[in-house]
Structure 1
Amino acid sequence: MTEAGRPDRRSRHSRHAADRRRSRVWPILLSLALVAAAVAGGLALHRSSQDDQNAADGDGGTTAIDLAARSAAVDQVLKRRAQAVLSGNEQEFVADVDPADTGLVARQRTLFTNLRQFGFAKLAYQQLAQQYDDTIAQKYGPSTYLVAVAMQYQISGIDLVPVRAMLGYTFSRRPNGTWMLVSDSDLDKRLPRGSHQEAWDTGPVLVKRAPRVLVVVEQGQDALADSLVTMSQSAVKAVSKSWPGGWNGSGVVIALDDKVVRGADYSQPKNAEDALAMATFVYRTLPGEATGEGQRADSYVVINPHNRTKVDARTLAHEFTHVATAPYGSYAPRWLVEGAATYVEFLPMDGQKDLAISQYRLDVRTKYLAKAKALPADATFFDQADSSYPLSWLALDYLFNRFGGTEVGTLYRELASLGVTQKDRDRIMLEHVGMTEAGLFRALKAAAAA
């Protein structure tokens, strides 16, 4: 047994098993911080009608006509590209791509092949707002149109609702007045982290599916894909069975060689060394559209390419618990978020050896609870991960056993959606379990003493 590892589970990576708890979620928090910074930094997603009117007033209204014509023409390009993916027409997909840029055309063909594998039930592209960059304008000429684009999609059998990702496209007008795509990467560094750099935006990929499961690997890695599909099916079943009220969502697992995919950044040394996987948010509305953080719909799991051989079904059950709870909101205390995921991870699972929970409970009380002064705090949770994860598990173990899954599930939902301040958290805790977070810690101490 490792300090924060699974009870009575002799991991061949014992130190890693302890460290992986530390790094699973803090990179996601970093992603949210970067999202806020990107939005605050001036990537406007909406342009007011007054802005358009000001532009029109500059030349007696001619600009307004040009803007309207350009917007309509680009809308048609975007509509053709979406329809081409849905219908399987590669030539139509690249018809509006600059034919002189053979590298861009080749990348777009790869993108088309990738997109086709995901099986979209719905797909559309929507212009958000023009962006401005003199360097880009000088490169492509006076007609350059740099625009943020929302990709709205729903993967059949996976996404319960349509979700959105963000792109940046550069268009230029041809001599005949039509518009062509000349770049799809000029805005990448300005887009909010976690809402772009999707799995299909990398090199050639292989997508394999099963009911409620979708796995993405590098092209040619069939054995890895098959293994992850099997583990994902087991993990989806476990979370559906164990999470209060059930879970009818799906597990998306991305295991690519790329170190930066969606909100996961495994180029950071600490992430590369410690993390196994992390759940990255999928958005109903993009950061900066309706709210600064965006409205979450779900999560996709991204596996660390350095540690993918260490992932098992229990790892995915932990991450899929985060997927199941992602739509609730972002305000739940960290001990509840990670404690719930670890609680489900440790439960009996098909095809997995049962864990020695009674002994683990005793060990946590002896090694960690005896020295602790309070439940793990959000601000220091990952700095003290070796104790934070087992103590969080112990808190959830207590809550589930004393109050039952229905009450715990309701508590989680309300804390995640409404627990903005400590006062809010205390009120919600008192309402549902008759004690504050401090009271829960005292109850853990009393149970250990008994």
Structure 2
Amino acid sequence: MAAAVGGGLALHRSSADDLGGPSASVEASGATDLAARAAGVDEVLAGRADAVRLDKVDRFLADVDPGNKKLVARQRTLFENLRQFGFASLRYERLQEQYDQSLTDRYGPSTYVVAVAMTYQIRGIDPTPVRTMLGYTFTQRSDGRWMLVSDSDLDRRLPRGSHQEAWDTGEVLVKRAPRVLVVVERDQAQLAGTLMVKASSAVRAVSKSWPGGWTGSGVVIALDDKMVRGADYTLPKNAEDALAMATWVYRTLPGEVSGLGERADSYVVVNPRNRTKVDARILAHEFTHVATAPYGTFAPRWLVEGAATYVEFLPMAGASDLALDKYREKVRTTYLSKAKGLPADATFFRDSSSSYPLAWLAVDYLFQRWGGTEVATLYQELAALGSTQAERNRIMIEHLNMTEAGLFQALKAAAAA
């Protein structure tokens, strides 16, 4: 299967008999044996994965261009970062060649630019193997072996959110606790310790509070970088308002099986500007997104954020209890009285000052009237199947005997009573 995402980046598996285009003409001229090239690059990729598993830095760097000192240093840092994560499994797979004449002009006629899928599973963190993307440029050495000459030529063409992992930044420090993994800058051990305590409390809170329990893990990435995974804190609104966000982790990459990719889990990325403001409740909010990520992507935004805020506000060990009765009344009088419906997906974040309280009020009402099991089941079905308003209405009526509009009227009636 072939698909194009991220500016025309092809993702399907590369093979010696499925390359076409300019590279095929090179092969016809006898300049490149495509089968031998595939085997040679696969050998390099397998060796890199083995080197991480066996802690062999020299093997990891053996096929990196020794004349490019910056690349060697960057790859050495990458190796040291990868070793800290503790992978239960790790492999690299060639995807489609990405032909670029300017790169051939730069590196020579044997230049091979290819998208690569990194499939990994962090021990004790990822419930299943997941995938991320990177792009490598190889050239053939005089001895016939293939050498990595660049790890960044494809960066701008790789899909946002499935690229630029925490280990791809500068030197990092990885700390673990049961069901928690924290990533910070190498010299931020104190920050790592603080976040470990908060994250551990948040994991316990979500495990206790989410209907049916949650047995997953929480990853917290708190780096100086403003763009990590799907988080982009260079955007003014994110930079100013967001404290942290849960970013998707992919079972299959965008473009492989579906345009959006099949999502398996989430890692939380903290806003560098607001690291000191992140507490256990904020992380509980984000970990609720992590817990519900496997359900799907179609749930209405008021339910997604309302559920996370509902768990965030519940009594939590180590955090002061909130005056929820007073808050409920404040939301009714300040926001519900002026609203004309539940917060819409398209404007939810634009009107976040009112959207979040109203979303919380709606989910709070659902929990009180129908109980957690029914709310969780509703969430799962909406997330999996609610891709249209008609489907959302059908699912809501099936579970609650009312649509979203009916739920809003029920909130109004409850406030009046």
Which TM-score applies when normalising by structure 2?
0.96
Whole-angstrom CA distance in 2 between matches of 1:227 and 1:173: 48
Q: RCO (CA 8 Å, sep 6+): is it higher in 1 or 2? A: 1
Indicate yes or no: 2:187 matched with 1:240.
no
Whole-angstrom CA distance in 2 between matches of 1:293 and 1:344: 27
Aligned to 2:165: 198
Whole-angstrom CA distance in 2 between matches of 1:301 and 1:73: 37
- Spell out, residue by residue over 1:186-231, the C-alpha distance to the aligned partner (whole angstroms, 9 max, x if none): 0000000011110001111000000000000001111100000000
- Spell out, residue by residue over 1:335-390, the C-alpha distance to the aligned partner (whole angstroms, 9 max, x if none): 00000000000001110001000111111111111111110111111121111100
Structure 2 contact 210–311 (Cα < 8 Å) conserved: yes
Q: Which amino acid aligns with 1:45?
A: L
With over 3 angstroms needed to count, the CA separation of the structure-2 counterparts of 1:268 and 1:163, relative to structure 1, is same
Indicate yes or no: 2:395 matched with 1:428.
yes
Query: Equivalent residue of 1:169, what SS?
Result: strand
Aligned to 1:293: 260
Whole-angstrom CA distance in 2 between matches of 1:40 and 1:169: 16
Indicate yes or no: 2:362 matched with 1:359.
no
Q: Which of 60, 82, 85 is the equivalent residue of 1:115?
A: 82
Whole-angstrom CA distance in 2 between matches of 1:88 and 1:47: 28
Alignment of 1:145-224 (within 5 A): 145-224=112-191
Aligned to 1:42: 8
Q: Which of 48, 55, 59 is the equivalent residue of 1:81?
A: 48
Aligned to 2:291: 324
Q: Which of 371, 379, 399 is the equivalent residue of 2:366?
A: 399
Aligned to 2:241: 274
With over 3 angstroms needed to count, the CA separation of the structure-2 counterparts of 1:182 and 1:40, relative to structure 1, is closer
Aligned to 2:302: 335
Query: Equivalent residue of 1:284, what SS?
Result: strand
Whole-angstrom CA distance in 1 between matches of 2:92 and 2:14: 20
Whole-angstrom CA distance in 2 between matches of 1:56 and 1:103: 29
Deviation at 1:66, TM superposition (A): 1.0
Q: Which of 376, 382, 404 is the equivalent residue of 1:415?
A: 382
Deviation at 1:269, TM superposition (A): 2.0
Aligned to 1:134: 101
Deviation at 1:423, TM superposition (A): 0.4
Q: Which of 52, 61, 64 is the equivalent residue of 1:94?
A: 61
Aligned to 1:372: 339
What are structure 1's unaligned runs of at least 5 residues? 1-36
With over 3 angstroms needed to count, the CA separation of the structure-2 counterparts of 1:281 and 1:63, relative to structure 1, is farther
Indicate yes or no: 2:28 matched with 1:66.
no
Indicate yes or no: 2:273 matched with 1:306.
yes
Q: Which of 197, 205, 208 is the equivalent residue of 1:230?
A: 197
Structure 1 contact 164–283 (Cα < 8 Å) conserved: yes
Deviation at 1:57, TM superposition (A): 7.4
Indicate yes or no: 2:189 matched with 1:253.
no
With over 3 angstroms needed to count, the CA separation of the structure-2 counterparts of 1:40 and 1:100, relative to structure 1, is closer
Identity %: 72
* Equivalences, count: 414
Whole-angstrom CA distance in 1 between matches of 2:152 and 2:397: 50
Structure 2 contact 228–269 (Cα < 8 Å) conserved: yes
Deviation at 1:54, TM superposition (A): 7.3
Indicate yes or no: 2:414 matched with 1:447.
yes
Aligned to 1:384: 351
- Spell out, residue by residue over 1:58-88, the C-alpha distance to the aligned partner (whole angstroms, 9 max, x if none): 5896769811110111001000000100110
Q: Which amino acid aligns with 1:360?
A: Y
Whole-angstrom CA distance in 1 between matches of 2:121 and 2:69: 30
Whole-angstrom CA distance in 1 between matches of 2:258 and 2:70: 37
Query: Equivalent residue of 1:124, what SS?
Result: strand
Structure 1 contact 279–299 (Cα < 8 Å) conserved: yes
Q: Which amino acid aligns with 1:76?
A: E
Structure 2 contact 93–118 (Cα < 8 Å) conserved: yes
Q: Which amino acid aligns with 1:44?
A: A
Over aligned residues, Cα RMSD in angstroms? 1.8
Deviation at 1:52, TM superposition (A): 3.6
Deviation at 1:47, TM superposition (A): 5.9
Query: Equivalent residue of 2:5, what SS?
Result: helix
Decide which moves more: 423-432 or 61-70.
61-70
Query: Equivalent residue of 2:138, what SS?
Result: strand
Structure 1 contact 38–190 (Cα < 8 Å) conserved: no
Q: Which amino acid aligns with 2:297?
A: S
Structure 1 contact 56–63 (Cα < 8 Å) conserved: no
Whole-angstrom CA distance in 2 between matches of 1:60 and 1:298: 41
- Spell out, residue by residue over 1:248-269, the C-alpha distance to the aligned partner (whole angstroms, 9 max, x if none): 1100000000111111111122
Aligned to 1:104: 71
Deviation at 1:137, TM superposition (A): 0.9
Whole-angstrom CA distance in 2 between matches of 1:373 and 1:313: 33
Q: Which amino acid aligns with 2:7?
A: G
Whole-angstrom CA distance in 2 between matches of 1:449 and 1:46: 57
Structure 1 contact 56–62 (Cα < 8 Å) conserved: no
Whole-angstrom CA distance in 1 between matches of 2:78 and 2:21: 38
Aligned to 1:347: 314
Query: Following TM superposition, where does structure 1 have runs of at least 4 consecutive aligned residues deviating by more than 4 angstroms?
Result: 47-51, 53-65
Aligned to 1:9: none
Query: Equivalent residue of 2:263, what SS?
Result: strand
Query: Equivalent residue of 1:106, what SS?
Result: helix
Query: Equivalent residue of 1:300, what SS?
Result: strand
Whole-angstrom CA distance in 1 between matches of 2:240 and 2:21: 52
Q: Which amino acid aligns with 2:219?
A: V
Query: Equivalent residue of 1:72, what SS?
Result: helix
With over 3 angstroms needed to count, the CA separation of the structure-2 counterparts of 1:163 and 1:119, relative to structure 1, is same
With over 3 angstroms needed to count, the CA separation of the structure-2 counterparts of 1:448 and 1:57, relative to structure 1, is closer
With over 3 angstroms needed to count, the CA separation of the structure-2 counterparts of 1:38 and 1:206, relative to structure 1, is farther
